[in-house]
Amino acid sequence: MNLDDFSDLIERPDGGIRRDAEERRERLTVPPGALGRLDELGEWLSAAQASVKVRAIEQPKVLLFAGDHGVASLDVSGRAPGSAHELVRAVLDGASPVAVLARSMSVPVRVVDAGLDCEPELLPAEVVRHRVRRGSGRIDVENALTVEETEAAVRLGIAIADEEADSGTDLVVLGDLSVGGTTPASTLIAALCGTDASVVTGRGGAGIDDLAWMRKCAAVRDALRRARPVLGDQLELLAAVGGADLAAMTGFLLQASVRRMPVILDGVVGAACALVAQRAAFRAPDWWLAGQVSGEPAQAKALDRMALNPLLDHGVHVGEGTGALLALPLVQAAAAFAAELPERPDPTTPETAATPEAEAAPQV
């Protein structure tokens, strides 16, 4: 497998359609600029859908890839190592923030176990049936995955993207359910952006104290030494310092772009996978939106590298796709405005042109 092959498979959203959509926007009854960034979103949707008049977002879905990371054993996370299955259970039970929000918005949620470190019997079969391996290696001293496992995880993401596109999903809100996942994500972003550990290391969705932050910095620093020699090969990079969930998300993002299925990214884990995918296929980011500012410095650096401007900045850093899901109503509103707002009457048409009698009538 060579991820660079995706570069020839991914096309940009239709630029001609976008220009036509921009011209149509100039003719709407609402003045240009009055809707702010929603105008830009509407035009982006037009290009993505290859239709000047945007179709409503009718079948969005929240997709969460789950996994445990061996580096969590260094006490770099606010959660216990191997406890990501508890996050999954909370989502399935409707007790997590993303589950509550999705229920209120009537958006279905799908969880895919790519690398949880738990007994399969703890979760439903439809969640665990895709698992690539149990947990991942400690990336500061060993590879997260073998190359074969990495390929299997990427293929899993590709298959999930095809399943969603074939089922009619018209937009995906992408998130992760992981323990220790922000450490490999920060490592990937630091490696791809050529920066140091201290610049990208944040405190994660669960929050950590200063001592844990220093341990996390050290882990990212040591993992970076292992990442730099394999920067030329995205699969080897994901194998060295990624994880099964990150590799699967990367494969998903690439294939979603092939299938012309828009994606809203959530936090730093999704941003890291997107950056790896961009390295493989430079057109892929044209199909993604950044949902929110998560507060992680690595996310900000990755989004800047991809020229993705987040839709929201509400200080939400709980993860799980919650911030990206909060941005979904904005995208749906942009679609509704672009589709339903009327155009101004054309004064040159017979129906609206002034008659000679009207032109000759005295002005009052």
Structure tokens at 40: 């830009």
Kindly list the distances between the CA atom of residue 288 and the CA atoms of 37, 65, 312, in Å, as whole numbers in the listed order: 15, 17, 15
* Distance from C-alpha of 195 to C-alpha of 88, rounded to nearest angstrom: 33
Instruction: Please say if the pLDDT value at position 143 is more than 70.
Output: yes
Residue 351 is predicted with a pLDDT of 55
| Region of poorest pLDDT, from 1-5, 94-98, 286-290 | 1-5
Residue 358 is predicted with a pLDDT of 46
Instruction: Please say if the pLDDT value at position 361 is more than 60.
Output: no
* 284-317: pLDDT as tens digits: 999 999 999 988 999 999 999 999 999 999 888 8
Residue 259 CA, distance from chain mean position: 15
* Distance from C-alpha of 89 to C-alpha of 243, rounded to nearest angstrom: 21
Kindly list the distances between the CA atom of residue 286 and the CA atoms of 29, 44, 114, 337, in Å, as whole numbers in the listed order: 29, 9, 26, 21
Q: Pick the more confident residue, 352 or 293.
A: 293
Q: What CATH number does the domain located at 60-332 have? A: 3.40.50.10210
Structure tokens at 17: 């359609």
* 177-227: pLDDT as tens digits: 999 999 999 999 999 999 999 899 887 666 678 898 899 999 999 999 999
Residue 319 is predicted with a pLDDT of 82
| Residue in 43, 164, 296, 320 annotated catalytic | 320
Place of tokens 């979904």: 328
User: What percent of the chain stands above pLDDT 70?
Assistant: 94
* Distance from C-alpha of 140 to C-alpha of 223, rounded to nearest angstrom: 4
Residue 77 is predicted with a pLDDT of 86
Question: Virtual CA dihedral for 334, 270, 318, 297, nearest 10 degrees?
Answer: -100
Confidence band for 356, pLDDT divided at 50, 70 and 90: very low
209-214 own/partner pairs: CB under 8 Å, 24+ apart: 212/75, 212/76, 212/77, 212/78
Instruction: Please say if the pLDDT value at position 355 is more than 60.
Output: no
Residue 317 is predicted with a pLDDT of 80
Mean pLDDT of 149-161: 98
3-state secondary structure of 299: helix
- 22 counts as catalytic: no
Mean pLDDT of 276-288: 96
Mean pLDDT of 241-261: 97
For the chain, the structural domain boundaries read 60-332
Residue 352 is predicted with a pLDDT of 47
- pTM tops 0.85: yes
* Distance from C-alpha of 172 to C-alpha of 261, rounded to nearest angstrom: 8
* 314-330: pLDDT as tens digits: 888 888 899 999 999 99
Q: Over the chain, what is the mean pLDDT?
A: 92
- Contacts (Cβ under 8 Å, ≥6 apart) of 11: 260, 283
Structure tokens at 116: 């949880």
- Nearest alpha carbon to residue 257 among 184, 172, 319, 315: 172
Residue 205 is predicted with a pLDDT of 60
> How, if at all, do strands 263-265 and 288-290 pair?
parallel
Size of the chain in residues: 364
